[in-house]
């Protein structure tokens, strides 16, 4: 009898251990607010999940771009691995989350992102762009396919996750994106971060590249913005960002794009409009609206979403879970593959990667199984899939790549998603506005505060200039001077030198007034 009871207790203990491991109770806290767990599902299918507390001011969801730019020339074929993108963005500045400037990314988890766009379908060459739209750190950098059957997954600037429906985002008269000049007249924006044609008004952000890559046939207006160029919901007239005109370049060709500025680039009649309407120092409003219609034909019905202050977003392949119900997926849904998904409930946002059968015996999942996993194992209420197969990859801080990609190693791709802890903003007091300085060694003049930005000039030793102020609004009544901010292991200072403005490492600058025998030094 005692032996029977002992065996029964042992069996119960093993059962409890098995249930604990497979019921999703064994989350490992990687950093405050962000956890990780590896699941083993039926058929030895391996699933890797990172979860982040939603609405937490110290945790953010954001997106990454291969090489730092859309259609980047910084990396081979415009693509980069997840771990490469993590290295690029880690310790870099994170713009305006919860309306704060100067905080930095401590990346805790990251996965691959969207599918890749082809120049022609079904088998044309890759265009160098992700298939869908993208928002990074609040900057609307690529439009979503208008009424394409899907838009994107996104999290707003207050950490609230959502999945978009069918949208118009500038390409249709029902939801035009526009600029409003100081005299209240308007001009329609024709696109964002695409090559300018003969009759266009393009908005260029820093994500296009170091400069606009345009010829000298147009007019380009540089605006310093008070916030990132957020997308906003349609129908709210106050939903815009504003910018101060810093420079007007008429027929001068490609324009450099500093990190918190945009360029309005006009050709044809739009060039005439910019030429006639823009004056240095004036304020312009930018309305980058997204009109979301939801999906009335989905089962269950997907309601329209509010994109106001969308902070991080990429295009998604398909929505697989709505209000805890598996959607009416395409039939037949039998193919088991490696998968990547975005999911959420009222408490957490999840990143999910499923390994395929060739990896250590893991069999992958079809979309039905992926939806059911998100619902039944994670208690997610909503989920969408993104690029899968050989692209599926998860990186975790302190662990590196945790899954085994079906290509056998990481596949380079165009973008990705990440969970970050936000490190506090840190500033140096080494200089002040108006301080005359020189570079005490050969150095670079960067477009932003950090080595993840490109540089616009290489400066030989001994150039002289002046420290500038760089004020950013954090409320209607409060602002902060970003100069001297810490990022990428250095303090960075904005200064004016040789008729240019840019950012240089503090260690490369010296106060001229503190240098004895300046003439000899120079």
H helix and E strand count, the chain: 5, 42
The CATH class of 436-521 is mainly beta
- Segment 216-232 shows an average pLDDT of 95
- Segment 247-259 shows an average pLDDT of 97
Mean pLDDT of all residues in the chain? 92
- Segment 363-373 shows an average pLDDT of 95
Q: How does pLDDT run across 9-25, given as a tens digit for each residue? A: 444 344 434 433 444 46
CB atoms within 10 A of CB 188: 12
Q: How does pLDDT run across 496-519, given as a tens digit for each residue? A: 999 999 999 999 999 998 775 555
CB atoms within 10 A of CB 42: 8
Q: What percent of the chain has pLDDT over 70?
A: 93
pLDDT band for position 521 (50/70/90)? low
What values do phi and psi take at 344, rounded to 5?
Answer: -160, 160
- Provide the token pair at 102: 């100067």
Q: Is the pLDDT of residue 380 over 60?
A: yes
- Segment 208-213 shows an average pLDDT of 97
- Provide the token pair at 21: 């491991």
Q: Which residues contact 477 (CB under 8 A, 6 or more apart)?
A: none
Q: What percent of the chain has pLDDT over 90?
A: 83
Residue 257's DSSP bridge partners are none
Q: How does pLDDT run across 404-432, given as a tens digit for each residue? A: 999 989 999 999 999 999 999 999 999 99
pLDDT band for position 379 (50/70/90)? very high
Question: Containing H/E element for 123?
Answer: none
Residues 220, 252 contacting (CB under 8 angstroms): yes
Residue 277's DSSP bridge partners are none
Nearest to 386 by CA among 132, 124, 39, 19: 132
Determine the distance from the C-alpha atom of residue 503 to the mean position of all C-alpha atoms in its chain, rounded to a whole number. Answer: 22
Residue 4 pLDDT: 42
Q: For tokens 């990314």, what's the residue?
A: 105
Residue 6 pLDDT: 42
pLDDT band for position 360 (50/70/90)? low
Q: Which residue spans of the chain are classified as CATH 2.30.30?
A: 436-521
Residue 514 pLDDT: 79
Question: Containing H/E element for 23?
Answer: none
The span from the CA of 253 to the CA of 208, in Å, is 15
Residue 477 pLDDT: 77
- DSSP labels, 194-226: S---SS-EEEE-GGG-SB----TTSEEEEEEES
Query: Whats the size of the chain, residue-wise?
Result: 522
Q: Is the dihedral of CA 149, 113, 48, 352 positive or negative?
A: negative
SS (H, E, C) 463-484: CEEEECCCEEEEECCEEEECCC
**Residue 332: half-sphere exposure toward Cβ, Cα within 13 Å:** 3
The span from the CA of 498 to the CA of 343, in Å, is 50
- DSSP labels, 94-114: E--GGG--SEEEEEEEEEE--
- Segment 54-82 shows an average pLDDT of 96
Angle at 506 between CA 513 and CA 96, to 5 degrees: 125
Residues 133, 143 contacting (CB under 8 angstroms): yes
Q: How does pLDDT run across 130-167, given as a tens digit for each residue? A: 999 999 999 999 999 999 988 999 999 999 999 999 99
Q: Tell me which of 31-35, 132-136, 232-236, 503-507 is least confident.
A: 232-236
The span from the CA of 139 to the CA of 154, in Å, is 13
Higher pLDDT pick, 10 / 444: 444
């Amino acid at each position: 009898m005692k032996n029977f009871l002992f065996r029964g207790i042992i069996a119960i203990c093993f059962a409890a251990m098995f249930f604990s491991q497979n019921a999703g109770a064994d989350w490992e806290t990687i950093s405050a607010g962000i956890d990780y767990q590896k699941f083993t599902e039926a058929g030895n299918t391996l699933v890797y999940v990172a979860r982040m507390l939603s609405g937490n001011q110290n945790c953010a969801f954001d997106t990454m771009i291969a090489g730092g730019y859309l259609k980047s020339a910084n990396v081979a074929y415009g693509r980069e691995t997840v771990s490469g993108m993590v290295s690029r963005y880690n310790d870099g500045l994170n713009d305006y989350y919860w309306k704060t400037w100067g905080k930095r990314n401590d990346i805790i988890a990251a996965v691959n992102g969207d599918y890749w766009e082809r120049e022609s379908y079904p088998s044309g060459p890759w265009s160098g762009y992700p298939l869908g739209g993208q928002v990074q750190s609040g900057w609307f950098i690529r439009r979503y396919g208008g009424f394409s059957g899907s838009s994107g997954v996104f999290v707003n600037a207050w950490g609230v996750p959502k999945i978009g429906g069918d949208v118009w985002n500038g390409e249709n008269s029902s939801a035009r994106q526009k600029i409003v000049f100081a005299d209240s007249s308007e001009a329609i924006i024709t696109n964002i971060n695409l090559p300018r044609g003969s009759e266009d008004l393009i908005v260029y952000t820093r994500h296009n590249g170091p400069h606009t890559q345009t010829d000298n046939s147009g007019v380009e207006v540089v605006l310093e913005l008070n916030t990132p160029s957020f997308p906003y919901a349609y129908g709210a007239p106050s939903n815009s960002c504003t910018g101060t005109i810093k420079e007007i370049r008429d027929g001068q060709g490609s324009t450099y794009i500093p990190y918190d500025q945009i360029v309005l680039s006009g050709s044809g009649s739009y060039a005439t409009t910019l030429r006639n309407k823009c004056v240095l120092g004036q304020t312009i409003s930018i309305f980058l609206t997204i009109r979301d219609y939801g999906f009335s034909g989905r089962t269950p019905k997907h309601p329209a979403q509010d994109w106001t202050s969308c902070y991080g977003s990429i295009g998604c392949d398909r929505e697989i879970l709505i209000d805890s119900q598996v959607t009416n997926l395409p039939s037949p849904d039998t193919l088991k593959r490696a998968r990547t998904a975005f999911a959420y409930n009222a408490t957490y946002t999840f990143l999910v990667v499923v390994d395929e059968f060739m990896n250590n015996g893991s069999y992958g999942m079809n979309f039905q199984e992926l939806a059911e996993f998100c619902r039944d194992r994670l208690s997610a209420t909503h989920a969408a899939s993104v690029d899968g197969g050989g692209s599926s990859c998860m990186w975790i801080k302190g662990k590196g790549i945790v899954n085994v990609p079906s290509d056998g190693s990481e596949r380079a791709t165009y973008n990705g998603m990440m969970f970050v802890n936000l490190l506090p903003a840190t500033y140096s007091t080494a200089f002040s506005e108006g301080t005359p300085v020189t570079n005490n060694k050969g150095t670079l003049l960067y477009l932003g505060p950090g080595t993840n930005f490109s540089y616009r000039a290489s400066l030989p030793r001994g150039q002289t200039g002046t420290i500038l102020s760089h004020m950013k609004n954090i409320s209607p009544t409060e602002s902060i001077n970003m100069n001297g901010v810490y990022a990428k292991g250095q303090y960075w200072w904005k200064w004016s030198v040789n008729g240019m403005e840019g950012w240089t490492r503090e260690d490369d600058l010296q106060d001229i007034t503190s240098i004895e025998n300046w003439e000899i030094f120079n």
